[in-house]
Homo-oligomer: A and B are copies of this chain.
Amino acid sequence: MTHDCSFLEDLDVAVSFEEGDRTDHSADWGTEGSDRAVVPDAVVRPETTEEVSRVLAAADERGVPVTPYAAGTSLEGNAVPAHAGVSMNLMEMNEVLDVRPDDFQIDVQPGVMGSAVNEAVEGHGLFFPPLPSSGNLSTIGGMIANAASGMQTVKYGEVGDWVLELEAVLADGSVVKAGSKAVKTSSGYDLKHLLVGSEGTLGVVTRATLELEGLPEQIRGGRAIFPTLEDAAEAVFDAVRSGVDVAKIELIDGTSAEIANAYLDTGLPDAPMTFIEFHANHGIEEEIDFCKAIFESHDVQRFEMAEEEDMDTLWQSRKELAFALRAWDPDLEPLQPGDVTVPISKLPEIIAYAKDLEAEYGIPVPCFGHAGDGNVHYTALVEKGNPEARKAGKEVYTRVVEKAIEFGGTATGEHGIGLGKREYMDLEHGEASVEAMRRVKRALDPNDTLNPGKIFPETADGERMRTAEADD
């Protein structure tokens, strides 16, 4: 599966064939140390759109795969160069190109970190609301590629909702502009949203114009503890249904609470908790009281709110959960985290279903996530080196995905498909829809140059998805 990449040396673009560098580009967070990692044949580091174009045109001509890579924080192998070839590292393109505070707009290159966007605009009283939790470690290009979202999506929407215009390079090296700097347009096909979430399989984003929001004048947040998981899930559902204006509403189940409490020595009960944050320009107390009244009707046991500067302590169990999960029991390892999302009315049911499986399989399955969007993360904790336990954990994972799809939801709210969720594409979308996506892919990338092996269900022979013409 290796490819001759010596042509890169003639392109006047920074290129590396060094083994350590190549190995560093073999995996993302979700595939590190796994058998899904693939070492690319070369790593290029373009600095301009023109260089991206030059590499793509040359690789496309030679049938050599190119997989974009940035911070590598994706969780589904999205950035793994599955068919080897070139890993295109975009971290050198990390400039903030322009800030237009009057238009609430910023132009950035793809390698700019999420936190850097906020730093660039906070002096203007602005921020970029839809950042994922990994926002200080991940790039805008990666977020766009993976259709990321985050804790504040419940109020502000997804990353893709805040992208106005993109410049991207297609597989053949042509440079396209998608979207508009106007806040609305009905001109032609929406190539912008087609690129968002395409995981680098349709184009490489080289510039993004993002929309910004005014910083709220009031921020408060805190924690609520419930007697049962059902109470907590119903409370979240009721708050969303009632139109409480929350900026974040997270939920963790009792298993997660137990793990976080032990890791942080919080002294809190091992009970289901929600974490909330409110943003307003005035009248924030009224929203908090509204929320509290709803939570009280679901038997909330503690409802603690703090000013912005003191919120972190109350949020600790949620914020440290990912680390706590890894440190929990040296004999257990967390499997691939699930990322299902369902219509909000099904939130209590999908969580109850996961907990039923926890009992049925006798495997801890902590559940947590962006409950206000109906987004549930869950991870089976299985005995290390026990293939039976692994298999059971994987079964739990799959059954929750299938149930979410049955509820009209999605296998993945925010992590993308990558390598990890290809097998659920047909079930979620139906074969005709996946075939339509395939036709779009073939139209824009007939040689399957860009990030081959992703999103689409695996081909029978594991080969790339090239058109007949390209195979000749």
Contacts and interface: CB of A to CB of B under 8 A. Distances in A.
Contact of A430 (B103, B177, B196): B177
A330 interface: no
Interface string A430-444: 101111110111111
Given A102-B345, A180-B410, A432-B174, A197 B186 contact: yes
A449 to B, nearest CB: 15
A452 interface: no
A186 B440 contact: no
Interface stretch (A16-24, A279-287, A387-395): A279-287
B437 A444 contact: no
Contacts of A177: 429-430, 433
Interface in A91-132: 100, 102-105
Contacts of A146: 186
Nearest to A345: B102
Contacts of A105: 343
A245 interface: yes
Interface in A383-410: 404, 407-410
A408 B100 CA distance: 13
A7 interface: no
Contact of A180 (B175, B176, B341): B341
Copies of this chain present in the complex amount to 2
A241 B282 CA distance: 18
Interface residues of A, number: 87
Interface string A46-64: 0000000000000000000
A125 to B, nearest CB: 9
A187 interface: yes
A267 to B, nearest CB: 35
A417 B187 contact: yes
Residue of A185, A202, A442 contacting most chain B CB atoms (<10 Å) = A185
A170 B435 CA distance: 11
Contact of A187 (B180, B243, B412, B435): B412
A444 B375 CA distance: 32
A361 B163 CA distance: 38
A312 interface: no
B433 A184 contact: no
A298 interface: no
Contact of A436 (B411, B428, B435, B444): B444
Residue of A174, A186, A415 contacting most chain B CB atoms (<10 Å) = A186
Contacts of A175: 432
A178 interface: yes
B194 A341 contact: no
A421 interface: yes
Contact of A374 (B183, B198, B243, B281): B183
A146 B429 CA distance: 24
A325 interface: no
Contacts of A183: 341, 343-344, 373-374
B413 A185 contact: yes
A332 B433 CA distance: 50
Interface in A193-212: 193-194, 196-198, 202
Contacts of A180: 341, 408-410, 428
B187 A436 contact: no
Q: Which 8 A-B pairs have the closest CB atoms?
A: A193-B193, A181-B408, A443-B443, A147-B186, A185-B410, A182-B341, A214-B243, A102-B345
Given A182-B410, A439-B443, A442-B443, 15 more contacts: A148-B186, A149-B186, A165-B408, A176-B432, A180-B409, A182-B341, A182-B375, A184-B413, A185-B341, A187-B424, A188-B197, A188-B417, A189-B197, A190-B190, A193-B194
22 contacts: A100-B343, A100-B345, A102-B237, A102-B241, A170-B436, A175-B432, A180-B409, A181-B343, A182-B374, A182-B375, A184-B375, A184-B414, A187-B429, A188-B433, A189-B198, A189-B437, A190-B190, A190-B197, A191-B440, A245-B281, A282-B283, A442-B443
